[in-house]
Amino acid sequence: MASGFFALLDDIGVLMDDVASMAKVSTKKTAGILGDDLAVNAEKASGFVSSREIPVLWAITKGSFINKLIILPVAFLLSAFFPVAVTVILVLGGIYLAYEGAEKVYEYLVPHHHSSAIEDKGGMSPSEIVALEKSKIKSAVVTDFILSVEIVIIALGSVMGIPLLNQILVVSIVALIATVGVYGIVALIVRMDDFGYSLINFNDKDKSISDFFGHLLVNALPWVIRSLGVIGTIALLLVAGGIFVHNLDILHHWLESWPSLLREFTVGVIFGFVALLVIKGIKMLVGLLKK
């Protein structure tokens, strides 16, 4: 009896070791989307009154957990009973990621007018402010859902062919890391300026060490968010290119002599701008038909 118990513990230990190794690989493969997820949510969670930033971020985090609870069972059912669907969703998601990355590059390279509405929160009633918060939270949760689907499918795609229990453990760990890690870092980012102001007001000296670091944090926040946006865009194109290269047989040997990163980025850019042209063409056609 005792030997059977210790054998069971040994089997569990081996399983956990395998799961940890595979989770590490899967997390690396989803890192590109996590970077974009971080940039998107840092932007969406900022711009509120200081006292409301953390409650708003917590509401988005709870929505992200609910998204994962919806997505994970569906993904595992597809993996168990219709595995080809995982590859199809993976490629379709790659097209979406490539399109999103190409659209960001296009918006940067081709300046064009953005319709914007300046929100005068000072003249808004409490009920209007609450409605605005709910609207932004809903938008952030919807965006998180799309990115969560990609994170889960990419993680699942990296562990296809192994026992279902291992798949469930690995992908669930990656999903948990994605939620806790991303929103934990976002919480630190959106509070950078508040911590900076606290350092500035720490004493009355103008050129103290706390004053220097306080101004550094306050001034760095916009640059951090912009940098995350750039890194996230590059990562989106790399992740998308990797999906196409590894899942489309026709691309397995294309540009094979190129370094893998350059190859995947090039493929991501090509697919992204083709998708961008198709979407813009469809929008133009729909606009013409409506006239």
Q: Which amino acid is at 37?
A: D
pLDDT tens readout for residues 186-229: 777 777 777 787 887 777 777 778 887 888 888 887 787 778 77
CB 139 within 8 A of CB 44: yes
Question: Is pLDDT of 113 > 90?
Answer: no
| Phi-psi group of 111: left, alpha or beta (phi > 0 → left; psi -120 to 50 → alpha; rest → beta) | beta
pTM of the model: 0.68
Residue range 165-186: average pLDDT? 80
Question: Is pLDDT of 275 > 90?
Answer: yes
Which pairs from 211-220 meet CB under 8 Å and 24+ separation? Answer: 217/192, 217/193, 218/192, 218/193, 220/192
Give the span between the Cα atoms of 1 and 22, in whole angstroms: 32
* From 121-125, 132-136, 278-282, the region with the lowest mean pLDDT: 121-125
Which of residues 36 and 199 earns the better pLDDT score? 199
Question: Is pLDDT of 114 > 70?
Answer: no
Question: Is pLDDT of 99 > 50?
Answer: yes
